[in-house]
């Protein structure tokens, strides 16, 4: 099983915002999300894009596309391929659509969707990317999502994940404290480690790297089906 950050009582921090409320929460914070993401997530996101090693003509799916910070770069690198982005929040998707308007010649589609049921054919995706979403998901629901990722990935398809993770350096535990008091302040995210869980579900994990920006801890994972 994967592990997670712990609260003041030393219990693992599980998701504390119900899935039916996540969409509304991210609709509300969409106007401010880019500021947070640029300050705390840029290093990990850029590394994930580097490790994706995108080749034009691939089929790429981003789950939880958010405001399109990564998706914009994906589409730029894969203009002749298939680029699909899904997100639960219409507010986040509207920002992503505005960000992508300048890439009119590129091939992409953005739609409301859930990681639990991707609506994509079996073994049709070369690269699946997922940034800062599994850290919102209860432990009991994670395997269903990860198995859905396995379903849509081609044989030897690549999974790129970026998650809020357990803090490993000075100051990073402050986010666990904030989450334990007010999960909504953290956007529902808490620190997790997914390498072991992915391996138990049959993925081959080739990279797991730790990043910390503005004290915010992230893990970047590259795994293959």
The per-residue pLDDT for 157 is 98
Q: Is 12 helix (H, G, I), strand (E, B) or coil?
A: strand
CATH number (3.40.462.20, 3.40.50.150, 3.40.50.620, 2.60.260.20) of 3-224 reads 3.40.50.150
The per-residue pLDDT for 199 is 98
Residue 5 main-chain phi, psi, to 5 deg: -60, 160
The per-residue pLDDT for 169 is 95
The per-residue pLDDT for 1 is 46
* Closest to 36 in 3D by CA, of 219, 218, 224: 218
Residue carrying the six token digits 């770069």: 73
For residue 38, the cross-strand partners are none
The per-residue pLDDT for 204 is 98
Pairing of strands 216-224, 153-164: antiparallel
CB 208 within 8 A of CB 196: no
| Gap between the Cα atoms of 150 and 170, Å rounded | 35
| Gap between the Cα atoms of 77 and 214, Å rounded | 28
Q: What is the largest CA-CA distance in the chain?
A: 53
> For residue 153, how far is the Cα from the chain centroid?
16
pLDDT in tens, the chain (225 residues): 456 554 544 556 788 888 888 999 999 999 999 999 999 999 999 999 999 999 999 999 999 999 999 999 999 999 999 999 999 999 999 999 999 998 978 899 999 999 999 999 999 999 999 999 999 999 999 999 999 999 999 999 999 999 999 999 999 999 999 998 999 999 999 999 999 999 999 999 999 999 999 999 999 999 999
């Amino acid at each position: 099983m994967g592990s997670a950050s712990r609260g003041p009582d030393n219990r693992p921090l599980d998701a504390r915002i119900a899935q039916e409320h996540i969409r509304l929460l991210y609709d509300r914070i969409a106007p401010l999300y880019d500021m947070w993401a640029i300050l705390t997530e840029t290093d990990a996101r850029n590394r994930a894009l580097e490790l994706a090693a995108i080749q034009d003509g691939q089929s790429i799916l981003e789950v939880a596309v958010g405001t399109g910070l990564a998706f914009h770069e994906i589409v730029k690198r894969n203009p002749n391929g298939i680029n699909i982005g899904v997100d639960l929040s219409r507010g986040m998707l509207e920002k992503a659509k505005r960000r992508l308007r300048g890439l009119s010649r590129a091939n992409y589609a953005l739609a409301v969707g859930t990681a639990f049921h991707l609506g994509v054919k079996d073994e049709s995706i070369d690269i699946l990317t997922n940034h800062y979403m599994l850290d919102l998901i209860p432990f009991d629901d994670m395997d269903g999502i990860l198995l859905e990722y396995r379903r849509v990935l081609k044989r030897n398809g690549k999974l790129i994940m970026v998650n809020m993770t357990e803090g490993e350096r000075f100051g990073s535990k402050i986010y666990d404290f904030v989450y334990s008091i007010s999960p909504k302040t953290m956007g529902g995210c808490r620190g997790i480690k997914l390498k072991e869980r992915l391996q138990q579900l049959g993925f081959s994990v080739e990279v797991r790297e730790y990043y910390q920006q503005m004290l915010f801890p992230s893990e970047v994972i590259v795994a293959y089906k």
